[in-house]
Amino acid sequence: MAQSVRAAYHRAVISVASILRKAGAPAFLSTDPSTVRYCTGVSLSEGVLLITHAGISLYTDSRYIEEACCRVQQAGVSVHSIEDLRRRMQRIHMCAMQADRVFVQDHARWMRTYKNTKFIQTNGLIEGLRRKKSTDELREVRG
């Protein structure tokens, strides 16, 4: 398991600048479980992924903090309480999101909660990264 966490984080580190450049924004926000898992190596039913030039952050509620910390400890992804996301988003004025993977009610809530943030709709940023496999990833998949 630790190997797959490191591999997922390795892919994410390589692609952070690419994701933000392709998104045309200084931040990228996702609640999609498959995107969270790809970028952090952690499977959660409730989690928010925030990617900025400072790195990858995973925000979750108190039920999952300890589990998330244990699973990403070696990967270097920072884990925070979901309550900290509001404070962090106050400093982000433009943020990309996965338009095809965000529920309408979630987007509406983000617009109400993060009034100083302009959300840019993107599609396929992470999916495109998942399609490209490194030699290490191929070796891991083949076993």
- Phi, psi (deg, nearest 5) at residue 13: -60, -45
- Rounded to two decimals, the pTM is 0.79
Structure tokens given for 37:
């898992």
Q: How confident is the model at residue 42 (pLDDT cuts 50, 70, 90)?
A: confident
Give me the chain's average pLDDT, please. 81
pLDDT at 12 (0 to 100): 46
Going by DSSP bridges, is the β-strand pair 27-30/78-81 parallel, antiparallel, or unpaired? unpaired
Kindly report, residue by residue over 80-123, the tens digit of the pLDDT: 999 999 999 999 999 999 888 888 888 899 999 999 999 999 88
CA distance 101 to 30: 8
